[in-house]
Amino acid sequence: MCLPHLSKLLYTFPGWKVGVTALQQAPAVDVVAIGLVSGQVVIHNIKYDETLMKFHQDWGPITSISFRTDGHPIMAAGSPCGHIGLWDLEDKKLINQMRNAHSTAISGLTFLHREPLLVTNGADNALRIWIFDGPTGEGRLLRIRMGHSASLTKIRYYGQNGQQILSASQDGTLQSFSTVHEKFNKSLGHGLVNKKIVKRKGLQNTMSVRLPPITQFAAEEARQSDWDGIIACHQGKLSCSTWNYQRSTIGAYFLKPRGVKTNSSITATAVDITSCGNFAIIGLSSGAVDVYNMQSGIHRGSFGDDKAHTGSVRGVAVDGLNQLVVTAGSERLLKFWNFKTKVLIHSLGLDSSPNMMLLHRDSGILGLAMDDFSIAVLDIETRKIVREFSGHHGQINDMTFSPDGRWLISAAMDCSVRTWDLPSGCLIDCFLLDSAPLNVTMSPTGDFLATSHVDHLGIYLWSNISLYSVVSLRPLPPDYVPSIVMLPGTCQTQGMEDLEEKTELSDEMIEYESPEQLSEQLVTLSLLPESRWKNLLNLDIIKKKNKPKEPPKVPQSAPFFIPTVPGLVPRFAVPEPSSDPQQSKVVNLGILAQKSNFYLKLEEGLLNNQYEAALNLLKELGPSGIETELRNLSPDDGGSVEVMRSFLNMIGMMLDRKRDFELAQAYLALFLKLHLRMLPSEPALLEELVKLSSQVEKDWTHLQSLFNQSMCVLNYIKSAFL
């Protein structure tokens, strides 16, 4: 397919006076559909430059067009407002509309070949598959894959099994992502201001009833099957919403402090839920901290005479036993309260105002990130600062404890993620990212660290490298220069672009010739049939099986001329019984040994270090031929130690080149089997073998890890589609 006129302009269409936005070939020959800015779709025969039909869609420019190919003459056209029009090409009319297929513009839609399935995607970061199986000809949503459509505002692991991550986003939704399988993820949806009104008025899709994005949330699964287990603050809002994880929806209450005017600029800034799931604690920007019952939504008291803090509340936390509440205020005070009596126990002055606060409930260790980019760690029993860490050069966005409370991991605007070892008080890990990390959360089982990043919609998972290899966790030196880790992406990387450019250079299509070796990282197999190498090791068994039961016998019939014994008296010679009963027709080749071609090439190889010729000879032989050649290498069978060394060199060369991998293994195995007895007595050979052994092992470990990796991917794909 290398046509010289491939890139030659053949014809120019005059156009339709407005911009063309989509172009799609129709199933009919020479017919294309042209989508225009005006919302028109023109079905045009390009051979005769003739318009066959025109449709007009009212939703603005056509973004994308596709034709059904399973026997229905239907065309789908996408629009910038998320609707899809379905047109009948025979009756030349609109037969259906799929409104709000996506919440943003449809960026692409395609009917699957010969299937009643339409795949659409949009700028809302969703991929949907619609099936056309109903009588109305309307698409029914079959499958959906959806992420957040705007940047994330907060992520936290949910539950104790470490498999779900709750994430809130600027798009106003709260979603739960499973780290195990997409099957288990779910969206808790948008928060609606008043569900009942919305239902009654059928306002489902109007933006005005949606709550602003969640900025903070706390979740506790202890009573999730009884009542709501998630409490969330919304951007610029005073009241906090509750959410139900099990029912995947916004919950029953809006917890709103009484006595605060709704139109004041006071907002909720910090929340926590007790580990029993009964109480929620809400801190406000005014400094007030209130307790609510999660089951009933009733106000259960507040801390402080009027307010807990004079500044805004930057963090609230309850200990694991509902005894102590810790609150941090922007006026540089950390306060300890009795949970039941709401009495102030202790107030601690800080050097700088706290930015965020995090409590590790099991150990009672409290992490405080300060506005001066330092971190303080307190023990809530003794109420003393036990560690202070500095090193970040930017605002600390988030922190998380490892499940055992040993490590504190912090993420900051300076694009670094740092791991601090609490017992030793040292920084043990630090790496830089190309995009500043916003939130970090460690799974309760310690297997993953999840991060969210500026300008990224996804959640990134990091695994604990010490699970896979031995890492010495030494304190990093003060002048340690962290390396930059690139976030994995779906966009093409630099290297791929280079590759593409290179391939683009040759405009002629060259038939692909597979190189002898694809990559130095991989091994290549010979293309010899399996029978040539697979059974080499079992050759003796096969021979034994195929061996005639008895040696061929001389027929016992009387000869025609009976031999006589020379002498005076004629006497018949009695045939002597064969002296060697074991003698068979199988000739012992060792005795007849004459230097074979292979042997000669190996000898040559010793001089010029070229083993290609010898290898090629060996490749042409069948299994028993190979065995004979290898057997004859040993000094007992007419060979020499030198030639055996040459053979090992040949194997070494094969391993080096990483080609004919299976042959190298099979030949070596047979060689070892045949000469096992004599090899140890030859130091020269032994030395060679030790070298080979490490080489074989290295290659194999590499291969094995590749195999394992492939198996994992395969298993994953299998589990994802079955």
> Residue 92 corresponds to which amino acid?
K
Q: How far apart are CA 174 and CA 671, in angstroms?
A: 65
Q: Taking CB under 6 A as the criterion, which residues in 463-502 touch ligand NAG?
A: 464, 466-467
Near ligand NAG by CB under 6 A: residue from 18, 23, 141, 144: 144
Residue whose CB is less far from ligand NAG, 453 or 601: 453
Task: Give the Cα separation of 711 and 706 in Å (integer).
Answer: 9
Which of the stretches 150-158, 519-527, 684-692, 708-716 binds ligand NAG when contact is defined by CB under 6 A?
150-158
Residue of 402, 646, 649, 665 that binds ligand NAG (CB under 6 A):
402
Is residue 401 involved in binding ligand NAG (CB under 6 A)?
Answer: no
Residue nearest to ligand NAG (CB): 446
Under 8 Å between Cβ of 163 and 179: yes
Quote the CA–CA distance of 289 and 254 in Å, as a whole number. 16
- Measured from the CB atom, is 356 or 602 closer to ligand NAG? 356
Interaction of residue 269 with ligand NAG, rule CB under 6 A: no
Q: Is 397 in the site for ligand NAG (CB under 6 A)?
A: yes
Exactly one of 55, 227, 336, 407 binds ligand NAG (CB under 6 A); which one? 407
Residue 153 in contact with ligand NAG, rule: CB under 6 A: yes
80 with 71: CB under 8 angstroms? Answer: no
Q: Which residue has the tokens 């030639």?
A: 643
Determine the size of the site formed for ligand NAG (CB under 6 A): 28
User: Long-range CB contacts (< 8 A, 24+ apart) of 132-135?
Assistant: 132/68, 132/72, 132/74
H/E segment holding residue 316: strand 313-318
* Antiparallel, parallel or unpaired: β 564-565 and 571-572: antiparallel
DSSP labels, 18-43: S-EEEEEE-SSTTEEEEEETTSEEEE
* CA pair distance 442, 642, nearest whole angstrom: 61
**Residue 75: strand, helix, or coil:** strand
**Sheet of 299-303, strands arranged across:** 268-273, 279-284, 289-293, 299-303
Which of these ranges, 140-148, 241-249, 509-517, 678-686, lies near ligand NAG under the rule CB under 6 A?
A: 140-148
9 counts as binding ligand NAG under rule CB under 6 A: no
Q: Which of the ranges 101-109, 266-274, 460-468, 545-553 carries the binding residues for ligand NAG, by CB under 6 A?
A: 460-468
Name which of 126 and 485 has its Cβ closer to ligand NAG: 126
Structure tokens of 109? 């839609």
Under the binding rule (CB under 6 A), the answer on residue 446 touching ligand NAG is yes
* Number of Cβ within a 10 Å radius of residue 719: 11
Q: Where are the alpha helices (DSSP H) in 174-245?
A: 195-201
Nearest distance, CB of residue 432 and ligand NAG, angstroms: 18
Mask 324-363, x = binds ligand NAG (CB under 6 A)?
A: --------------------------------x-------
**Residue 40 CB, nearest approach to ligand NAG (Å):** 34
Distance of CA 63 to the CA centre of its chain: 31
Q: CB 701: neighbour CB atoms within 10 A?
A: 10
Q: Other C-beta atoms within 10 Å of 474: how many? A: 10
414 vs 662, which CB is nearer to ligand NAG? 414
Instruction: Rule CB under 6 A: say whether 182 interacts with ligand NAG.
Output: yes
CA angle 99, 101, 106 (to 5 degrees): 110
CB-based contacts of 562, cutoff 8 Å, min separation 6: 572, 573
Interface residue with ligand NAG among 5, 8, 93, 183 (CB under 6 A) is: 183
Q: Which of 264, 310, 338, 347 binds ligand NAG (CB under 6 A)?
A: 264
- d(Cα 109, Cα 111) in Å, to the nearest integer? 7
CB of 660 closer than 8 Å to CB of 517: no
Question: What is the closest distance, in whole angstroms, from the C-beta atom of residue 181 to ligand NAG in the complex?
Answer: 8
Q: Which of 94, 146, 461, 621 binds ligand NAG (CB under 6 A)?
A: 146
Please identify which residue in 187, 275, 363, 524 interacts with ligand NAG, judged by CB under 6 A: 187
If one counts every other C-beta atom within 10 angstroms of the C-beta of residue 94, the result is 15
Which token pair is 220?
A: 């506790």
Q: Does 417 bind ligand NAG (CB under 6 A)?
A: no
**Residue 274 sits in the site that holds ligand NAG (CB under 6 A):** no
Cβ closest to ligand NAG, residue 153 vs residue 274: 153
- Cα–Cα–Cα angle for 518, 519, 522, rounded to 5 degrees: 105
Binding flag, residue 189, ligand NAG (CB under 6 A):
no
Residue 321 touches ligand NAG, criterion: CB under 6 A: no
Burial of residue 688 (number of CB atoms within 10 Å: 0-12, 13-18, 19+): buried
Shortest distance (Å) from residue 400 CB to ligand NAG: 9
**Toward ligand NAG, which CB reaches closer, 469 or 608?**
469
Pick between residue 374 and residue 526 the one whose CB is nearest to ligand NAG: 374
Query: Closest separation between CB of residue 159 and ligand NAG, Å?
Result: 16
Q: Tell me the closest approach of the beta carbon of residue 235 to ligand NAG, in angstroms.
A: 10
Q: Name the segment binding ligand NAG (CB under 6 A); options: 130-138, 397-405, 515-523, 571-579.
A: 397-405
Question: Greatest CA span in the chain, whole angstroms?
Answer: 148
The nearest distance, CB 464 to ligand NAG, in angstroms, is 4
Residue 671, C-beta contacts closer than 8 angstroms, at least 6 positions apart: 630, 633, 647, 648, 651
Q: Is residue 549 within the footprint of ligand NAG (CB under 6 A)?
A: no
Q: Minimal distance in Å, beta carbon 141 to ligand NAG?
A: 9
For position 249 contacting ligand NAG by CB under 6 A, the verdict is: no
State which of residues 208, 263, 341, 546 lies at the interface with ligand NAG (CB under 6 A): 263
Region binding ligand NAG by CB under 6 A among candidate stretches 13-21, 185-193, 204-212, 326-334: 185-193
* Residues whose CB is less than 8 angstroms from the CB of residue 18 and which lie 6 or more positions away in sequence, other chains included: 36, 37, 38, 40
CB of 634 to ligand NAG, least distance (A): 50
Candidates 65, 118, 152, 313; binder of ligand NAG (CB under 6 A) is 152
Distances in Å between the Cα of 156 and the Cα atoms of 6, 176, 177, 185, 216 are: 55, 10, 10, 14, 10
Using CB under 6 A as the criterion, which residues of the chain lie in contact with ligand NAG when the complex forms?
A: 144-147, 152-154, 175, 182-183, 185-187, 261, 263-264, 356, 397-398, 402, 404, 407, 438-439, 446, 464, 466-467
